[in-house]
Amino acid sequence: MKMKKSALIGFAIAAALGASAVQAADQYIGLPSYRVGPYAAGGTGIFGGMIDYFQLVNERDGGVNGVKLTWDECETEYNNARGVECYERMKKGGPTGNTVFHPLSTGITYSVIDKATADKIPVISLGYGRTDASDGRVFPYVFPLLTNYWSQNTAKIKFIGSKEGGMDKLKGKKIVNIYHDSAYGKETIPVLDAQAKMYGFTVKHVPVAHPGNEQQSQWLQVRQEKPDWVILRGWGVMNPTALKAAAKIGFPREKIVGVWWSGAEEDTIPAGAAAKGYISAGFNVAGTNYPVIKDIQKFVVAKGKTNMEDKSRIGSVYYNRGVVHGIITVEAIRKAQEKYGKGKSITGEQMRWGIENLKIDNAMLKKLGAEGFMPELKMSCLDHEGSGKVKFQQWDGKQWKVITDWIDADQKLVRGMIEESAAKYAKEKGITPRDCSKES
Amino acid sequence: MQFFFEVLIGGLLSGVMYSLVALGFVLIYKASGVFNFAQGAMVFFAALTFVGITELGVPFGFALILAFGAMILLAIATERVVLRQLVNQPQITLFMATIGLTFFVEGLAQGMWGASVRGLEIPGIQDEPLEWMMEATGIGVSKFDLFAAGVSAILVVVLAIFFNKTRVGRALRAVADDHQAALAIGIPLQDIWRIVWAVAGLVALVAGVMWGARNGVQFALTFVALKALPVLIIGGFTSIPGAIVGGLIIGASEKLGEIYIPPFVQSTFGIETSLGGIEGWFPYVMALLFLLVRPEGLFGEKHIDRV
Query: Is B219–A44 a contact, with Cβ atoms under 8 angstroms apart?
Result: no
How do strand A279-282 and strand A359-360 relate by DSSP bridges?
A: unpaired
Query: Is B114–A309 a contact, with Cβ atoms under 8 angstroms apart?
Result: yes
Find, among B125, B155, B196, the residue nearest to B20 by Cα.
Answer: B155
Query: Is B7–A220 a contact, with Cβ atoms under 8 angstroms apart?
Result: yes
Q: Is the pLDDT of residue A10 over 90?
A: no
Q: What is the mean pLDDT of chain B?
A: 88
The DSSP 8-state label assigned to residue B86 in this structure reads: G
B102-to-B34, B37, B62 alpha-carbon distances in Å: 14, 7, 27
Compare all CA atoms of chain B with the CA of A179 and give the residue at the minimum distance: B277
pLDDT interval class at B305 (50, 70, 90): low
Task: Confirm whether A2-147+286-378 and A150-282+393-411 share one CATH topology.
Answer: yes
Contacts of B281 in chain A (CB under 8 A): 209
Does the beta carbon of A220 lie under 8 angstroms from any beta carbon of chain B? yes
- pLDDT (0 to 100) of residue B13: 92
Distance from CA of A210 to the nearest CA of B (A): 7
Q: Is the pLDDT of residue A3 over 60?
A: no
pLDDT tens digits, one per residue of A237-265:
999 999 999 998 889 999 999 999 999 99
Distance between start and end Cα atoms, chain A: 56
What architecture is the A150-282+393-411 domain classified under in CATH? 3-Layer(aba) Sandwich (3.40)
Dihedrals φ, ψ of A178, to 5°?
-90, 115
Least confident among A24-28, A230-234, B233-237: A24-28
Mutate to test the interface with A, among B45, B122, B142, B215 (most CBs of A within 10 A): B215
Query: Is A216–B280 a contact, with Cβ atoms under 8 angstroms apart?
Result: no
Q: Is the pLDDT of residue B128 over 90?
A: no
Q: Is the pLDDT of residue A2 over 80?
A: no
pLDDT tens digits, one per residue of B193-226:
899 999 999 999 999 999 999 889 999 899 888 8
pLDDT tens digits, one per residue of A46-95:
999 999 999 999 999 999 999 999 999 999 988 999 999 999 999 999 99
Distance from CA of B70 to the nearest CA of A (A): 21
For B92, the enclosing helix (H) or strand (E) is helix B91-113
Distance from CA of B207 to the nearest CA of A (A): 14
ipTM over 0.90: no
Domain borders along chain B are: 2-222
Residue B302 amino acid letter: K
Asked whether A170 and A164 are in contact (CB, 8 A), the reply is: yes
Q: Is the pLDDT of residue A1 over 50?
A: no
The DSSP 8-state label assigned to residue B129 in this structure reads: B
Contacts of A214 in chain B (CB under 8 A): 14, 227, 254, 279
Distance from CA of B188 to the nearest CA of A (A): 37
Mean pLDDT value of segment B19-25: 92
Does the beta carbon of B218 lie under 8 angstroms from any beta carbon of chain A? yes
- % of chain B surpassing 70 pLDDT: 97
Query: Is B280–A210 a contact, with Cβ atoms under 8 angstroms apart?
Result: yes
Residue among B6, B214, B220 whose CB faces A236 most closely: B220
- pLDDT (0 to 100) of residue A265: 95
Domain borders along chain A are: 2-147+286-378, 150-282+393-411
**Neighbour count for residue A427 (Cβ, 10 Å):** 10
- % of chain B surpassing 90 pLDDT: 48
Contacts of A205 in chain B (CB under 8 A): 274
Does the beta carbon of B274 lie under 8 angstroms from any beta carbon of chain A? yes
Find, among A196, A195, A217, the residue nearest to A206 by Cα.
Answer: A217
Residue among A207, A240, A244 whose CB faces B277 most closely: A207
Residue A70 amino acid letter: T
**Neighbour count for residue A28 (Cβ, 10 Å):** 21
- pLDDT (0 to 100) of residue A282: 94
Residue among B110, B116, B120 whose CB faces A36 most closely: B110
- pLDDT (0 to 100) of residue A20: 42
Does the beta carbon of B281 lie under 8 angstroms from any beta carbon of chain A? yes
Query: Is B128–A247 a contact, with Cβ atoms under 8 angstroms apart?
Result: yes
Mean pLDDT value of segment A7-32: 61
CATH C-level class of A2-147+286-378: alpha beta
Dihedrals φ, ψ of B294, to 5°?
-140, 85
Q: What is the mean pLDDT of chain A?
A: 92
Does the beta carbon of A236 lie under 8 angstroms from any beta carbon of chain B? yes
Does the beta carbon of A216 lie under 8 angstroms from any beta carbon of chain B? yes
Compare all CA atoms of chain A with the CA of B7 and give the residue at the minimum distance: A217
